[in-house]
Amino acid sequence: MVESPTQDISIQILLNQNNFTTGDTLVAEALIVNDDTPNNVDVKVMTELPDGT
């Protein structure tokens, strides 16, 4: 049996405000910490507009 090491992963997502209404600008910032080794990752964001598109 192979055991994988336990990794503590920290994910924080910060927004520029708590509540949003029509016309507001949403700014999101993400901080993900896995370990001390720098890694490149691909980040994809999906949105759905009020008209369903």
Q: Which tokens sit at 30? A: 């993400």
Give SS3 for 15: strand
pLDDT at residue 30 in the model? 86
* Strand partners of residue 11: 32
Report the pLDDT value the prediction gives residue 19, as an integer from 0 to 100: 93
pLDDT at position 53 is 76
How many helices (H) and strands (E) are present in the chain, helices listed first?
Answer: 0, 2
**Full-model pTM:** 0.54
pLDDT of residue 45: 83
pLDDT in tens, 1-50: 555 566 678 889 999 999 998 899 999 988 888 777 777 778 888 888 88
Report the C-alpha gap between 18 and 23 in whole angstroms: 15
